[in-house]
């Protein structure tokens, strides 16, 4: 799972009300990530090649149609780019229709309502009463981002849990940086890496990620043997231990581990483990 800073991108329409938050602007590029030619900085542009299941030929039709004129609705996009309903659903799931339909629930609804018309009626616009849906909670949006793209440009999931973690007295990686050597602390983060080098004599190194950065955790062999299940299975790991600080080097020496994966719900993602 990957989390990137807030996105700004080129909108699909030309309305002055467009918010520049289109996760996957409908434009093809050779490089999937880029920051050039964007209206606001810092910015990241994600390409349609990240949308699993979307055919390149369909993406090329979108680019060609948009070059003629901006799209003014999801229906206009579907009709002019000759997209099938499942392709519109893929775009909606990736939040690529934000400047045309609004929030993601509305995008999905609009896409689901589009059916390929008979050939004689392909260019005929469809006039229907608009049904407005409530916006999804941020946590649900993050889940959709990860399911559709494998990453999110919204807030880090740990930011959503921070109030709850504060009540449990877990400090963020940012708060830990200023603490003196030898302080007893609690830290919590998403496990992004586990390493057990052959020369480490049973020591496991764990990287925990939160909304401010990473914490490097050292798990001695004795703790590893006592809490092997928590160490190896937790996606969200709480660590009670001693803060170690020597110059610019900072580590957390683990004394006790807590598996808090249940707090992530459907956001749990695999870590990279090297043994």
The stretches of the chain forming alpha helices (DSSP H) are 56-68, 74-80, 85-93, 98-101, 104-112, 138-149, 157-167, 173-176, 221-226, 228-233
- Kindly state the percentage of the chain with pLDDT values over 70: 69
CA distances from 68 to 10, 80, 83 (A): 16, 10, 16
1, 190 Cβ separation under 8 angstroms: yes
For residue 42, cis peptide bond before it (omega within 30 degrees of 0): yes
Measured in degrees and rounded to the nearest 5, phi and psi for residue 143 equal -60, -45
In this model, does residue 111 exceed pLDDT 90? no
pLDDT in tens, 65-100: 888 888 888 888 888 888 888 888 888 888 888 878
Residue with tokens 């900085």: 41
Stretch 6-28: mean pLDDT, rounded? 37
Domain definitions of the chain by residue range: 2-152, 157-274
CA-to-CA dists, residue 50 to 6, 7, 31, 151, angstroms:
17, 15, 11, 10
d(CA 105, CA 117): 23
Answer yes or no: are the C-beta atoms of 182 and 243 closer than 8 Å.
yes
d(CA 246, CA 248): 6
In 10 A of CB 183, how many CB atoms? 13
Of 168, 203, 174, 204, nearest to 186 (Cα)? 168
Helix, coil or strand: residue 120: helix
CATH dotted code for 157-274: 2.40.50.140
Longest C-alpha distance within the chain, in Å?
76
Residue 73 contacts residue 97 (beta carbons within 8 Å)? no
List Cβ neighbours of 200 (8 Å cut-off, separation of 6 or more). Answer: none
- Give the Å distances, CA to CA, from 92 to 29, 44, 109: 20, 19, 9
pLDDT per residue over 232-265, tens digit each?
999 999 999 999 999 889 999 999 999 999 988 7
Using alpha carbons only, give the angle 52, 54, 57 rounded to the nearest 5 degrees.
145
Q: How many CB atoms lie within 10 A of CB 139?
A: 17
pLDDT in tens, 171-210: 999 999 999 999 999 999 999 899 998 888 899 999 999 9
**What's the mean per-residue pLDDT of the chain?**
77
Distances (CA, A) of 28 to 40, 55, 66, 107, 144: 19, 12, 11, 21, 22
Q: Say what the pTM is.
A: 0.61
């Amino acid at each position: 799972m990957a989390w990137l800073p807030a996105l700004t991108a080129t909108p699909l329409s030309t309305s002055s009300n467009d918010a520049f938050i289109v996760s996957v602007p409908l434009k093809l590029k050779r490089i999937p990530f880029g920051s050039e030619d964007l209206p606001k900085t810092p910015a990241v542009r994600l390409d349609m090649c990240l949308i699993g299941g979307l055919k390149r030929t369909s993406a090329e039709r979108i680019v060609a149609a948009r070059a003629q004129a901006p799209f003014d609705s999801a229906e206009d996009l579907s009709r002019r780019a000759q997209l099938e309903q499942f392709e519109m659903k893929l775009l909606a799931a990736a939040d690529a229709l934000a400047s045309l339909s609004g929030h993601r629930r509305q995008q999905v609804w609009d896409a689901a309502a589009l059916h390929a018309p008979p050939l004689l009626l392909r260019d005929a616009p469809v006039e229907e009463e608009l049904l407005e849906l409530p916006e999804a909670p941020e946590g649900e949006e993050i889940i959709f981002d990860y399911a559709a793209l494998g990453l999110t440009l919204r807030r880090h999931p740990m930011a959503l849990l921070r109030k709850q973690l504060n009540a449990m007295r877990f400090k963020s990686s940012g708060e830990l940086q200023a603490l003196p050597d030898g302080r007893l602390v609690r830290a919590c983060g998403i496990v992004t890496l586990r390493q057990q080098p052959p020369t480490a004599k049973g020591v496991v190194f764990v990287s925990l990620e939160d909304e401010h950065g990473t914490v490097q955790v050292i798990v001695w062999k004795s703790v590893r043997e006592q809490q092997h299940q928590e160490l190896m299975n937790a996606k969200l790991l709480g660590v009670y231990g001693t803060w170690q600080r020597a110059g610019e080097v900072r580590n957390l020496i683990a004394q006790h581990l807590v598996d808090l994966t249940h707090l992530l719900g459907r956001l749990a993602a695999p870590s990279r483990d090297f043994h």
